[in-house]
Chains A and B, each alone.
Chain A
Amino acid sequence: MKLSRSALVILGLLGMLGIAAVFGPIFSPYGVGELSDNRLAPPSAEHWLGTDLHGRDLMTRLMYGARISLLVGFVGASISLFIGVVYGLIAGYAGGRTDNRMMRLVDVLYALPRIVLVIVLISLFDLKLKSLLDGTFLAPFATHARLLLLFVGLGMVEWLTLARIVRAQVLTIKERPFVLSSRLIGQSTPVILFRQILPQVIPIVVTYLTLALPAVILEESFLSFLGLGVQAPLASWGTLLADGASMLNPIDTPWWLIVFPALALVSCLLLFNLLGDQLRRLGTDSER
């Protein structure tokens, strides 16, 4: 698979982002939750991107936020990928009534506004998960229960589109000669599904992944705006942006609290979308 130059540039930029996310906080002189008396300070030599209401360094928090946002994006998109691909494979290959019923369920879930599902999921399991984990060895992770829920919740809402796309692909692929011949020689269904069909579906899935990831990150930022995102002291770009946006007013806005998180979020999403574009072009080119 030969990637175009633009694709390489994008990947490079994303790579840099990843490195900043992983290593940046280690090199920062400030902690992510470290309060100081230097509050609401505009960008300066000590704090390159300024500080927030609690005196926390914005740059450090942005880099931590990158970790969380990217983590949420990847895991959420992967969960949706896993569920969507398996669902689509089964529905598409089974065909007939099973396919019909499975797609009906997708229709129903599509018609339910996702936010209803996510809010209920989070509030329902927030209590239960914490008490579940409290007694076990996973107790230290109890505080991150919300994060876990976000992964699952966001993944749950994105798999629908992928399931439809995969199913549509499978419907055409399963009529292809190599699949038919596999059936003739008696290969079992799981083998056909995973050895023969799945590889054909992968290109479109990968493309979709690069588009689902920004969608999940954006969704998480909306949840943060509602107060249901990651809990303090963790911070994602979504929470940083939501906090910053709440500070907008006509008299005296700390502009750095909204400009930098917005730039970070938007550029990351832009890069992923552009990458998806490049991959999709690759796909159609190779098809020709």
Chain B
Amino acid sequence: MLTFLIRRLLSSIPVVVAVLALCFLLVRIAPGSPFASERALDPRTKAMLEEKYGLSGSLPEQLLRYGFNVLRGDLGDSLKFRGRTVAEIIGQSLPRSLLLGSISFTLALGLGIPLGAWAAAHHGKKADSFLNSLALLTLSTPTFVLAPVSVLVFAFGLKLLPPAGWGTLSQLILPAICLAIPFIGVCARLTRSGLLETLGSDFIRTARAKGVSETNLVYLHALRPAILPLVAYAGPLAANILTGSLVIEEVFAIPGIGQFFVNGVINRDVFLVSGVVLVYCLLLLLFNLIADWLTALLDPRIRVAS
């Protein structure tokens, strides 16, 4: 177990390094300067600012400089939000995204799995196709449509919830649901397809022959192996949901980390983008690790094989 972990960690390091370097280079080669504004910038000032932030010299030089800083634990300063370090910005924004994301993640799994299982249990009947179509509907609707529409309906139409903001419990509900909805559909579909496949397998047929009820079959016996594709998907899902979404954060005025992926690139704020990408990458690796471990736990065949 420990060797497995260590081996995984070691093999992940080159991936993290490569992603970080790639991200840094991409933002630096994009045209435009992080220091430009509607007022023209004096070339001397621009050069001085580039020197100050370690962005002068050739591209490989800049990358190496950044790399050494990261190794020393210094993620750099934000170029757009002067006087703030990347670590400080991430430190303030990440917990909020994590909070919102974990609620959404719970919703996605907590609603997706039972719905998918229920659909599989009623396979072939109207309920199944209805649920399948509903699931497809949720993942075909862009968030930038869903979020404002739900604000109109629930905040202004029904006046049940606040339309935006951060700080109280009721302000969390609508963004969490909007963030979760596309993923509920995916989880439901993955559960359903996994179950349908498992339900056709031998050991289920045996159990059925033995007289186990259909419901028990679905929920107790088949679910465990059927859930494997979903577990594999849940790794990247967790990383995506926990780092939030630009749309949700802008529509609901949530001070999270998701907007930095887009706005950071648009502002050419290279250290901030690299920092949040690093966070995303680490979350991805962590949750893939957990997912793989859970897979081994749940699938006796893999355990036996290793």
- Measured CB to CB, the nearest residue on chain B to A274 is B136
Residue A253, interface by CB 8 Å: yes
Alpha-carbon gap, A284 to B193, bound state (A): 11
Residues of B within 8 A of A124 (CB): 29-31
Alpha-carbon gap, A162 to B237, bound state (A): 18
- For window 246-288 of chain A, which residues contact chain B by CB distance below 8 Å? 248, 250, 253, 258, 262, 265-266, 269-270, 273-274, 277, 284
From B16-24, B65-73, B99-107, the one touching the partner chain is B16-24
Contacting pair A104 B136 (CB below 8 A): no
Contacting pair B29 A277 (CB below 8 A): no
Contacting pair B26 A116 (CB below 8 A): yes
Contacting pair B27 A225 (CB below 8 A): no
Alpha-carbon gap, A256 to B18, bound state (A): 47
- Measured CB to CB, the nearest residue on chain B to A128 is B31
Contacting pair B145 A116 (CB below 8 A): no
Contacting pair B142 A123 (CB below 8 A): no
A222 contacts which of B137, B144, B148 (Cβ < 8 Å)?
B144
Residues of A within 8 A of B26 (CB): 116-117, 120
Residue B228, interface by CB 8 Å: no
Contacting pair B144 A266 (CB below 8 A): no
Contacting pair A108 B277 (CB below 8 A): no
Residues of B within 8 A of A127 (CB): 31
Contacting pair B140 A119 (CB below 8 A): no
Q: Interface residue tally of chain A, by bracket?
A: 35 or more
From B37-45, B260-268, B297-305, the one touching the partner chain is B260-268
- For window 249-271 of chain B, which residues contact chain A by CB distance below 8 Å? 261-262, 265-266
Contact residues of B: prevailing secondary structure:
helix
Residues of A within 8 A of B32 (CB): 123
Contacting pair A245 B145 (CB below 8 A): yes
Contacting pair A258 B145 (CB below 8 A): yes
Please indicate which of the listed interface residues A127, A250, A253 has the most CB atoms of chain B within 10 Å of its own CB: A250
Alpha-carbon gap, A214 to B281, bound state (A): 26
Residue A191, interface by CB 8 Å: no
Residue B273, interface by CB 8 Å: yes
Residues of A within 8 A of B140 (CB): 214, 218, 265-266, 269-270, 273
Residue A112, interface by CB 8 Å: yes
Return B232 CB to nearest CB of chain A, in Å.
11
Alpha-carbon gap, A138 to B268, bound state (A): 31
Residue B170, interface by CB 8 Å: no
Contacting pair B277 A270 (CB below 8 A): no
20 contacts across the A-B interface (CB closer than 8 A): A104-B14, A110-B236, A111-B285, A115-B262, A116-B23, A116-B261, A116-B265, A116-B273, A119-B266, A120-B30, A214-B140, A241-B142, A242-B144, A245-B145, A248-B148, A266-B137, A270-B133, A273-B136, A273-B139, A274-B136
Contacts A119-B262, A123-B31 aside, 8 further interface pairs with beta carbons under 8 A come to: A111-B281, A112-B19, A112-B277, A112-B281, A116-B23, A242-B144, A266-B137, A273-B139
